[in-house]
Amino acid sequence: MNALIALLLLAPQASQENHRAVFVKAVDSVVGIRVMATLGERSGSGVVISKDGYIVTSYATVPNGADQIRVYLHGPRLLIGKLVATSRDHELSLIKVESKVDLVPIELGDSSEVKPGDVSYTLGNAANCIIDNDAASLGVGIISGAYTLRVAKANSTYTGPVLETTAAVNIGMEGSPLLDGKGRMVGFVTLNYSPSRFLGNAIPVNLLKPVLERLRSPDGGTPATLPESQEPGYLGVTVADKQGRVAVEAVDAGSPAARAGISKGTILTSLGGASLKNAAEFRSRLKDLKEGDLLFLKVEDEGQEAELKITLGKKGR
Amino acid sequence: MNRAALALILILARAQDPLAEEMAKALRSIRDTVGKSVVAIEVVRGEDPEGDTGGGPAAAHQDYYNRPLGPVTGTILTADGFILTTAFNVSGEVKRITVTTADGRKHEAKRLGADRKLDVALLKIEAKDLPVLPRAKPGEAKVGDFVCVVGRGPDISVATVNQGIVSALTRRGGTAIQTDVKVNYGNVGGPLVNLAGELIGITAHIYPRAHWGQSSGVAFASKNEEIDKVLEDLKKGKDIAKPVQGPWIGALLGEPRAGVEGVPVDQILPNSPAEEAGLDSGDVIAAVEGKTVKTIDEVKAALAKKKIGDEVELTIRRLKRDGKTWEEKKMKIKLAENPN
Amino acid sequence: MRKITLVMLALAGLAARQEGGAIEAAQKRLREVLARVTPAYIFIDGGSGVCISADGWMVTNHHVAGGQKVWPMRFSGGKEGVADLIGWHPLDDVAVLKIRDGKDLPFVPLGDSDALRVGDPVIAIGNPFDLGAGNWEPTVSVGIVSAMHVYLDSPGYKDAIQTDAAVNPGNSGGPLFTMKGEVIGINGRINPRFMNRVNTGIGYAIPTNQIARFLPHFKAGGRQWGGHLDGVQVGECGDDRFENVGEYGDGTFIHGIDEGCPAEKAGLKEGDILYSIGGQRITNNNRCFGVVGAWPAGSVVPVKAKRWNAAKKAFEGFETKLLLGSVEQMKEYYAQAGNRYYGFTPDYYHEGAGFKVGEVDSGAPGAKAGLKPGDLILEAGGKKLANWVEFRTEMGARKPGDVVKLKVRRGLEELEPELTLGERTLSQDQIGQADRRPPKKKDDKKKKDDDEDDDDAPPPPPPKKDEKPK
C-alpha cells in the first residue's frame, strides 16, 4: 500500500538527516574571523545577525583596538569588517561588513525553551577550519545542564546563566553559535576558553538579544566601548550611615547584590577603587551608572574583607 | 484512502528527528530520577597545592595542573547515608566535607575508607530514607550501549546529564568499564547508568591530561561488583593503596621513536623531582645509573629498584638549538613519593 | 468510510510504534555494525590498523608502522600475526602492510569517502592510551563528520575528514567507519589544547578514497610521493597585488611557470586561474595543494581553468590535462618498486591498454633489452597490462636478476624482448629515515608545495607540544 511505503520511507534514519539539515541551514550564517590585535593575531568565529552585515563575535576574538578584521564566509568569500561596539560583560563584540550581496542572518531561537537532554549543535571555526578550508565544523551533543555561573575565572568576564553542552567546543569556536535541533541559535559560545571551565558553556541567547539591539545604534555605528544604556544601573541595596561607615540595611531578593552575597549588615568600604565616605556619596555615584556596567565593590562582612565584581542589572528583572 | 495516507504522512513528518526527541525525553527522565541519588560534595582543605588557582593568565595554566576548585559529585549508596565518590575527590588535607542532597539540604560528611585501585572513597552522612539507585545486572552491558552520567555542579542545585556509549568492557585490570561520555572534574564520582536508569558503576580515575576541559572522551566507571568486594573494608575506614608503583620522578614518558635510541620524555609534571633536576620535555632518557634503557618498562624497572629519597643518575640526550644534533647530559634526580 | 478509519487506525498504531522505538532501533543498529567491523581491527605497537582484504592487506599511519620492516600484530580479540611493511607515504602519513599467510581474515572493505557528508554519524575504533594492551579489547567511540576537505600542514593531511568522535593517542592508524560498516577514514591526528595531547573534540582522518588512489602503488612497494605542480608558482585569487586574478574563492592563479614543465606542456600560461583539478573545485591555495597532493605522483588529471581576455575584457574558460609531478622526479620514483630497476619511464599521457615507453636510460636494463621510446608494452611475464601502474606492481613482485618476457608493439612490428631486472642503486626507499627528496632540476625555484619539506633533515626529534599522537 502506498501509505505503508510512505511510512517506511519516513522511518528513522532521521537523526543524520537532522544533523545535515541543521548544518545546511546555519552554515551560511557562521563565519571565521581573523584580526590583528595589540597582543598579536587572533582568530575565532562569528555569527551573522542581520542581512545588512552585522556580525557578533566574542570579545576575545575582536577586542578593542583590533585592526584588519578579515571575515571569511561560506563560499568562500572574504570581506573586511569594522568594529562597531563591544560589551565585555557579555564577552561579545559587534562588527559590520559591507557586502554587495545580502548575508544570511542566523535564526534566533528562544533559550528559555531549551531543556537539558535536548540535542545541541555547535558550528564554528574550529582550529581555523573556516578560514583555511571553508569548512565550518559541526559538533553534536546534548544540553547537559542549565545553571548560573557565580564566579568569573581566569580570562572570562561573564557571570550569570549559562547553558552547558557536550557538543565539541574547542579552539577557534569563541564567537560561534549554539544551535538547537531546528538550527536556531539558542546560545553564544565564548566562555569555554578559560581553563577553569570544565564543559562547553554558552550564554543563553535571550540575554544577548537586548544587548545586541542596544549596540546596533541607528546611525550605523562607530567604534565604541559600551554605548549609553538608557536604563540606570540596578544593584538592589538600601544603605545607611552606621557609626561612620556605609552599612547595608536591606537587600532586594534576587537582585545583583543578593546574588553577589551582600546581605543586611554588610559594610561597603570602597566603590571603583575610591573609598566611600558616606551613604549619600554611594547613592550619588551609583546613580550615574547604567545597566550592564561593572561595579568593583569592596565590602566587609563579619570582619572579613572581600572584593566583589557585580554587573548592574535593570530594575524589575 | 489517499487523503488519509497524506494526513498520516504529514503527522509523521512533524516528528522531525524521533531519535533526538526520544533521547531528550529519556535523558531528562534519567536526570530527574537518577539525579535524586546524586549529591554535590564541597571539600574544604588546608594547605593544598592541588587546589590553589590564584587568578590571571599565568595562574590559569596552573589550574590545568592542579585540582580545579569547585564542587564535585557523589552517589548515594544506602538509604541511611553511605555515599560513594572518588578517592581523588576527597584527597589532600581535608578539613571539612559538606554533602548537599538533591532536596537542597546540607549534611556534614565523614570520610571513611578509600580504595585507590578503584579510585573510590566512602563517606557517611546522618540521614534516612535517601533514594538509592537500582542496579544493572552485572555483565549485561555491551560495547556500543547507550549510557549516561549524572553529575552536580558547578551550580550544585542543578543536575547535569551527559550521554555516550560503552567503549570497552574490561579496563583497569577488569575493575572498570570504559565510556566516551564526557566525564570531568565536576561530575566524576557520579553514577554511570544505562538508559533504564540502572547503576552500572561509579565514574572514577580522573587525571589532568585526559579530563581537563570537555574531557578527552576516555572515561572509566568502577563496577558495582568490584566496589562491593571492598565495601566492608571501606566502612571500617581502611585506606587500600594502589599496587606499588615505585618511586616517582614526575616525568611522563612516551613511546620510543624510530631513529632515536632511548625513552622520550613527553611531559614534566610541576613541582616534581624531574622538574627540579632540570629535565625537559623533549629530552630522551638513554640510561639509568649507567645502564642503557630502551623502553618505558626498562626505565620503570630500573627506578623500582630504588627507594624514595635515593638520588638516581640519568643519562639524557637533548636536541641542540640547531635542531639537528644531540648532546648527552648526565643529571641527578632525587626520587620522591608519588603524590597521586 | 469504515475501511479508511481502520487503515488510519492501523497506520497510527504503526506510527506510534515507530516513534517509541527510535532509541531501541538505533541501539540495535549500532550493535550490529560493531559486531561486523570490530573483528577487522588490528593492534600494532600501541597504535591501530585495519584489515581491508581477506588475504591480509592492512592500512595504518606511517607514524605508527613506518619505522621498521616487520611488525608483530594482533587482531581484536588477540589472534596474532606478522605483517610486512610494503608501501609507505611519510608525507601523507599512510603505511600499507601485508599480513603473512593471510587467508580468510576478517576485513572491512574501503568505502567511498567522497560520499560522506557533514553530519553523518561515524564510529572510531582504536587503542587510546594503550588501554587495550593485554586483553586486546579495542575502544569504540562514536561521533559525527564535523567537516571535510580539511588541509593541514606537517605532515600533510591534504583532504582530511574532521570528526568529533573521541580519538586519542593510540587511535592513530585505526579505522573510522560509517554506520554501514565501511571504513572511510584512517584516524591519525588530533588538535590538542595547551600542549595537552588528548582529544578536545577535533580529530582528523585520512579519507580512504585518497588511500585507494595510491593503493596499487603501495602494493607495488616502496616509498610513495604525491603529486605536485612542478615548475609552477601559484597565488590565491583575490590577491590585490596582481591584476585580473578574480576574487577570493575563485581559485588559484599561476604567477610563475617554468619552461618545459608539465603545466606548460598542458597549455597553461602565467595569469591562468585554476578552478577545478581532478574534478574537485579549487577555492584557495590550501584546496589546490590538498587536491594535487592527494593524487599519486605521475597521475594525469583533468584541469579546468580560465584566462583573461584583454580584448573582450572577460575571462574565457578552457580545459586541459595535467601531469602531477616532475618527469625528472618520476624517473627515479617510477623505477622504485622495492629493489627492482629497469631504467625506463612511461609516457604518462598514453591512454589505452599497455605501458608506452617514455624515456630510456642508456646502459640500463631497458636499453640492453632493446627498448625504444614509443614502444608499447602490452604484456609482461605473460600478464596483460592495463596501464603503467600495473607494470610497476608486476615488477614489484620480482627480484633483481629476474628475467621478464615482454610483449612489445613498435609501429606495426610485434617484438618479444627479454628484460633482465637490475639492482637499484638509489637509497630512496630506506625505512626509518626522514624523507629523501628525489633529485631536483638544477635551477629549481622555490615551490609552495608541502612536498618541499625539510627532507634532508636527520631523524625527527621526539615530538614536542603540538605534534601528532601515536
Question: pLDDT tens-digit profile of C361-410?
Answer: 788 888 999 999 999 999 999 999 998 888 887 887 777 888 999 999 99
| Domains of chain A with bracketed CATH | 1-227 (2.40.10.120), 237-311 (2.30.42.10)
The answer to whether C400 contacts chain A (CB < 8 Å) is: no
In Å, how far is B220's CA from the nearest CA of chain C? 11
Same domain, C281 and C390: no
Residue C468 domain flag: no
Residue A258: pLDDT band with limits 50, 70, 90: confident
Residue C3 domain flag: no
The answer to whether C198 contacts chain B (CB < 8 Å) is: yes
From the list C46, C141, C458, the residue facing B217 with the nearest CB is C141
Same domain, C131 and C90: yes
Rounded to an integer, what distance in angstroms lies between the CA atom of residue B284 and that of residue B263? Answer: 5
Judge: C144–A167 Cβ closer than 8 Å, yes or no: no
User: Please, are residues B75 and B39 in contact by the beta-carbon 8 Å criterion?
Assistant: yes
In Å, how far is C122's CA from the nearest CA of chain B? 12
Same domain, C245 and C127: no
pLDDT over 70 at A227, yes or no: no
Say what the pLDDT of residue A107 is. 95
Rounded to an integer, what distance in angstroms lies between the CA atom of residue A86 and that of residue A93? Answer: 4
Nine-digit cell at B78? 544506602
Chain A residues 16-35 with a CB less than 8 Å from chain B: 17-18
- Among the listed residues C48, C146, C172, C299, the single catalytic one is C172
Most B-contacting residue of C6, C142, C146, C187 (CB-CB within 10 A), to test interface:
C142
pLDDT tens by residue, B283-300: 899 999 989 998 888 888
CATH number at residue C170: 2.40.10.120
Same domain, C156 and C284: no
Q: Which region among A151-155, B56-60, B130-134, B156-160 has the lowest average model confidence (pLDDT)?
A: B56-60
Last residue within a domain, chosen from C207, C224, C241: C224
Is pLDDT larger for residue B50 or for residue C284? Answer: C284
The answer to whether C412 contacts chain B (CB < 8 Å) is: no
Please tell me chain A's helix, strand, coil percentages from 3-state DSSP, rounded to the nearest 5. Answer: 20, 40, 40
Instruction: State whether residue B168 is helix, strand or coil.
Output: strand
pLDDT over 90 at B241, yes or no: no
* CA A77, A80, A85, A87 torsion-angle sign: positive
**Chains in contact with A, where contact requires at least 3 CB pairs less than 8 Å apart:** B, C
Same domain, C180 and C260: no
Domain that holds residue C253: 232-326
Last residue within a domain, chosen from C326, C359, C375: C326
Same domain, C41 and C60: yes
pLDDT over 60 at C10, yes or no: no
Residue C381 domain flag: yes
Same domain, C123 and C76: yes
Residue C74 domain flag: yes
Tell me which chain A residues have a C-beta less than 8 angstroms from the C-beta of B57: 154-155
Residue C134: pLDDT band with limits 50, 70, 90: confident
Judge: C249–A78 Cβ closer than 8 Å, yes or no: yes
From the list B17, B27, B214, the residue facing A142 with the nearest CB is B27
Residue C84 domain flag: yes
Most C-contacting residue of B170, B257, B265, B279 (CB-CB within 10 A), to test interface:
B257
Same domain, C125 and C214: yes
In Å, how far is A309's CA from the nearest CA of chain C? 28
Tell me which chain B residues have a C-beta less than 8 angstroms from the C-beta of C28: none
- Among the listed residues C45, C89, C92, C93, the single catalytic one is C93
Same domain, C292 and C362: no
Locate the chain B residue with the closest alpha carbon to A154.
B56
Last residue within a domain, chosen from C326, C358, C380: C326
Tell me which chain B residues have a C-beta less than 8 angstroms from the C-beta of C1: none
User: Please, are residues A173 and A122 in contact by the beta-carbon 8 Å criterion?
Assistant: yes
Note if C48 is an active site residue: no
In Å, how far is C303's CA from the nearest CA of chain A? 20
Nearest-Å Rg of the Cα atoms of chain B is: 24
Note if C149 is an active site residue: no
| Domains of chain B with bracketed CATH | 28-240 (2.40.10.120), 251-334 (2.30.42.10)
The answer to whether C14 contacts chain A (CB < 8 Å) is: yes
What ipTM was estimated for this complex? Answer: 0.78
Judge: C23–B146 Cβ closer than 8 Å, yes or no: yes
The answer to whether C121 contacts chain A (CB < 8 Å) is: yes
pLDDT tens by residue, B115-147: 999 999 999 999 999 999 999 999 999 999 999
* CA C367, C371, C372, C376 torsion-angle sign: negative
Please give the tally of structural domains in chain C.
Answer: 3
What pTM did the predictor assign? 0.76
What secondary structure letter does DSSP report for B223?
A: E
**Chains in contact with C, where contact requires at least 3 CB pairs less than 8 Å apart:** A, B
CATH number at residue C262: 2.30.42.10
Say what the pLDDT of residue B272 is. 75
Judge: B146–C27 Cβ closer than 8 Å, yes or no: yes
Of residues B219, A178, A50, B203, the one with CA closest to residue C198: B219
pLDDT tens by residue, C168-210: 989 999 999 999 999 999 999 988 765 567 788 899 999 999 9
In Å, how far is B281's CA from the nearest CA of chain C? 7
Residue C432 domain flag: no
Average pLDDT over residues A245-272: 84
CA distances from B127 to A243, C16, C95, C129 (A): 45, 44, 61, 41
Note if C172 is an active site residue: yes
- Among the listed residues C62, C63, C149, C217, the single catalytic one is C63
Same domain, C37 and C181: yes
Tell me which chain C residues have a C-beta less than 8 angstroms from the C-beta of A171: 191, 193, 200
Quickly count: other Cβ atoms within 10 Å of residue C27's Cβ.
17
Grid coordinates 593503596 are at which residue? B241
Judge: B20–A168 Cβ closer than 8 Å, yes or no: no
Same domain, C314 and C348: no
From the list C18, C121, C148, the residue facing A16 with the nearest CB is C121
In Å, how far is C168's CA from the nearest CA of chain A? 15
In Å, how far is C23's CA from the nearest CA of chain B? 6
Residue C90 domain flag: yes
Instruction: State whether residue B28 is helix, strand or coil.
Output: helix
CA distances from B119 to B85, B230, B243 (A): 8, 12, 12
User: Please, are residues B211 and C199 in contact by the beta-carbon 8 Å criterion?
Assistant: no
Residue C295 domain flag: yes
Residue B207: pLDDT band with limits 50, 70, 90: low
Same domain, C126 and C215: yes
Rounded to an integer, what distance in angstroms lies between the CA atom of residue C101 and that of residue A170? Answer: 45
Orientation of helix C2-20 relative to helix B18-34, angle to 10°: 60
The answer to whether A155 contacts chain C (CB < 8 Å) is: no
